[in-house]
Structure 1
Amino acid sequence: MHKYKFLTNCGVNLKFESKFHIDDLTPVVFTNAVFVRFEDVEIVVKLTEIMNAEVNGVEYQIKSYAV
């Protein structure tokens, strides 16, 4: 299981565990938004609204795909 913590640009913290690693997921790209679906926990993350991410205790900055 992978542990996730996402901080959105509106200050919301998303914390969950998933058997999927984000690198293995295929993003869904729309005109102004990119989403990733963690189907095992039924969570969809809008990457274009994520400021910071933590995966398994390692912090990352998510590249914004917004146009």
Structure 2
Amino acid sequence: MHKYKFTTNCGVTLSFESKYHIDDIVPMIFSDGATFIRFEDNEIVIKLTEMKGAEVNGVKYQIKSYAN
């Protein structure tokens, strides 16, 4: 299991575990630039363009967002 913690641009933290590693998930990219990833085992959908940062298995990442 992989441990995830996503922080939204407005400061909300989403924490969960998934059997899927983020590198193995194919993102859905829409014409308006919105990018989503789905963790099927938890039925959680993350809109990357609304995320400020992420932590995967204890390693912190900053998410670049080109959203307006």
TM-score (ref. length: structure 2): 0.91
SS in 1 for 2:15: strand
Separation (CA, whole Å) in 1 of partners of 2:37 and 2:18: 12
Equivalent positions of 1:26-45 (< 5 A) are 26-30=26-30, 31-45=32-46
Q: CA RMSD in A?
A: 1.2
Structure 1 stretches of 4+ moved >4 Å = none
SS in 2 for 1:41: coil
Separation (CA, whole Å) in 1 of partners of 2:7 and 2:44: 14
SS in 1 for 2:4: strand
Aligned-residue offset at 1:65: 4.6
SS in 2 for 1:36: strand
Separation (CA, whole Å) in 2 of partners of 1:17 and 1:65: 27
Equivalent positions of 1:1-67 (< 5 A) are 1-30=1-30, 31-66=32-67
Percent of residue pairs identical: 72
TM-score (ref. length: structure 1): 0.92
Aligned-residue offset at 1:64: 1.7
